[in-house]
Each structure stands twice: as C-alpha cells, then as structure tokens.
Amino acid sequence: MTTMTENAARYREFKMPDVGEGLTEAEILKWYVKPGDTVTDGQVVCEVETAKAAVELPIPYDGVVQKLHFEEGVTVDVGTAIITVDVAPDSGYAPFAEAAEAAEAASAAPAEPAEDEAPKGRQPVLVGYGVSEASTKRRPRKGVSVPEQAPADALRAVQTELNGQAPAPARPLAKPPVRKLAKDLGIDLATVVPTGPDGIVTREDVHAAAAPVAEPAPVSRETTPAPAAAVQAFDARETRIPVKGVRKATAQAMVGSAFTAPHVTEFVTVDVTRTMKLVEELKSDKDMAGLRVNPLLLIAKALLVAIKRNPDVNASWDEVNQEIVLKHYVNLGIAAATPRGLIVPNIKDAHTKTLPQLAESLGELVSTAREGKTSPAAMSGGTVTITNVGVFGVDTGTPILNPGESAILAVGAIKLQPWVHKGKVKPRQVTTLALSFDHRLVDGELGSKVLADVAAVLEQPKRLITWG
C-alpha cells in the first residue's frame, strides 16, 4: 500500500533558483512545458527574467509534469516551488493532490527539526551559492499564484455554520512569505479565515482580507487582471508601467550610485578625423575581415591605453573595510540599450586583447545583448565603462557611474564641424567626450590625465603604437 509520505517523495518540486549573485526574485516569462509533458534531466522548462537578464531554467530530474505553480508574468521569490514533477510515473497510481497537500502542510506547520536535516546557511543554487535563509529578508512576490481548488466563500460558509464564526487560533498556521505579506499589508493573521489544507493561511486569504481596504469597490477574484506590462484604460490620459526586472535594477543601481559616490564630470572636445580615417582603413584590412570595425572599437582601445598610463583610475571603494582596491585587470563595460532596458555587460580582461580580439568581443557582446541573452556573469565584475550616447545624435552627457566602478566615459556624436587645423579653418570630424569619476578614488589631476590621454589617442591614433 502506497503511503502519503511515499507519494510526497514521489512528487518533486523544482524551486526558483538564485540565477546570479544573490538575486531574490525572478519573473516567469514563458513556460516551455505543460502538465502531462515528459521532461528529462537538463531540459529547459521555462524562461525567467531577473533584475539582470533573461535566463532559461533546466529541470534537474526526469519525470512527468504534474503542476505549474505560477502563470507567465508572475514574479516569484527565489526558493519558491514553481513546478511539480512526478519522478516515478511508472510506479502505479498515487494521488498527486493528496501528496501536495501533505507537502504543503508539512512545510507550513511547526515541527521539530529532523536529525538528518541539512544545516541552515548558504545553499547551492544554479549559479554559485545563495544567501543564508536566516539572514535574508525576501520581498513579497508581485502577482498571484494559481487559485485554490475550493472556493474561499464556500469554506467560510461551512465554518460559520459549524462554529458560528471563523476559527481564530492563537498562532495561525502560515508559511514565512505569507506572514511577511500579512505584515507588509498590515493584516493580523488571527483575523484571517484560512482556506488552505489543515487550516493554513494562504496568500489568497491575506489578499482577500486586505481587499476591502485596498480596493474602492469590490472586485471578484475571478475578474482580477493578471500582471501586465502596462495598464491603460481606453480613454486614459496616463499609462502606468510596473517597475520590475532590468528597469527596476537599473533604477536602484543609479540611485545608489548617484547618492553614494561623489561624481565629478569633465569634458573635452577633440578632432577625431584621423581616427575615422583609420576606421575606414581597418575595414579593408585582412586581419579584421569578418569583424565589426567602428569608432567605438578605437575609443575602447584608447581608453585601455589611458588606463595603462594611469593605472590608479582602475579601482573601487571598499566601504566596509575602508580601503581602496586597485584592479590590475580591466573588465571593460559597454552600456547597451535593449528592449528590456539598459544593461552593462563587460569584456573580461580587455587589457590583454589585441585589436582583432577586442573587435570580436565587442561584436559578441552587442549581438548577445540585442538578443536578450546576456548572462548575469557577463554583467558582473566591471571596472570601467563606456556609454556611446552619440548613436542617439546628442553631443555628450554626464553619465552616472556603474556601481562599484571608478569611471565611465561618455562618447558624443561625431559631427563635421569647422575646426582650426594647421592654422586654417577646415571641416573636421569632431566629438565631445565626458568622463565621470568617483572623487573618493580619483582626484581632479588623475581624472584630467585619463580624459586627456583618451583625447590624445583619438586625435593621433599612432599613439596606440607609441603608448600601447
């Protein structure tokens, strides 16, 4: 006879992993499977978007999909089950609903720690290790999970008929995320009527308790709209777009950087006519065949040369230890505008690359970003960044530092302008560069030298040889 415990062990729950550097949540963009589908170890089952990138998640075992716990468009906390798989579908009949209820009740009800329970702490995840459960506060998920099978109103009616009023235990049974949600919404769990198995309070119960306060008019759960990219009435004069994913991460990073690092921005206008001629020559060079050659390539090389001549600019500020960390490598970030928002992937050890290698890395970085396939690892560990605002036709800007970096170079539009060249006014190709730097790390002299060296290389590209 199959026991409930055996059933619960048969059905494996795949939880949302930490797909990169301590991220706490991810939005389910697309499901590639449905209940009843057979899956194999390593098969991609869904695509999720974190605060850094879109990532495909593989399932770690074989079996048959029993349940998708969340719909597309829902943001889910790391560590929350998103799909249930029957790992022994040929073992005969086993009631899945019974096993699911047993698993949920066991996770919600207080229990004595098992002797073989794994120690709390940093647990292995998809990329690296997650953060300690005891030290991390998860943000509540935005969105709702799949509704419970039994209508809440019917259960409340039965409880009222049997008991005269809804039960109010001294300490209601609820999972930690549900308790946090109730606390955030100002709801006393003792006043919430539980509808989950064995009297467990669910997220839907908390939302139902908060609905009369949050909504000006009663709206049934069946007609509540699912999360959308933008919410707009037919005759609305405003559109509200949820802040999440890459946009949310960018906003948080820029606010943190702007109000943490004291920014200084310096400007220089430079004649880049010779650089533009070199770009055209390199396009026909056999060593650059098949590679993307553009002004950004030579600007990147010019910045690397300037850093080599002024290595102290390549540093970071360690607030905890009150230290300046000098980097003996350059991970060159390139700001990229994508449909999901601004991202800054970087070229690892860019200082070691030849011009063809740098061109190849730039091409891969740009194409991967446009496809939305940039990995979290590619966006971590940057030391300095280039942002090419000139592609939008503007002269320059005052860029904000990427968090943890010491400098960022903005490149303006390259335009044909009147310029004094060899004592005569001639039409020359000119651009304006802007260098923002962290004044805790970089003083005015060092920042000025770096910017002047970049300008000098672009004005006379032969310095790539004499200085490089």
Catalytic center residues: 439
- Enclosing H/E stretch for 178: helix 176-185
Q: Which tokens go with 192?
A: 């919430």
Contact 424, 446 (CB under 8 A): no
Instruction: Report whether 270 contacts 430 (CB < 8 A).
Output: yes
- CB contact at 8 A, 441 and 327: no
Residue pair 144/74 in contact (Cβ under 8 Å)? The answer is: yes
How are beta strands 44-49 and 54-58 bridged, if at all?
antiparallel
How many whole angstroms separate alpha carbon 42 and alpha carbon 58?
5
Strands (E), 332-376: 332-334, 336-338, 341-343, 346-347
Amino acid occupying residue 468: G
Buried b (16+ CB within 10 A) or exposed e, 5-27: eebbebbbbbebbbbbbebbbbb
| Other CB atoms within 10 Å distance of the CB of residue 140 | 18
> Could you give the CA distance from residue 418 to residue 421 in angstroms, rounded to a whole number?
9
Q: Where are the alpha helices (DSSP H) in 215-272?
A: 245-258
Burial of residue 41 (number of CB atoms within 10 Å: 0-12, 13-18, 19+):
exposed
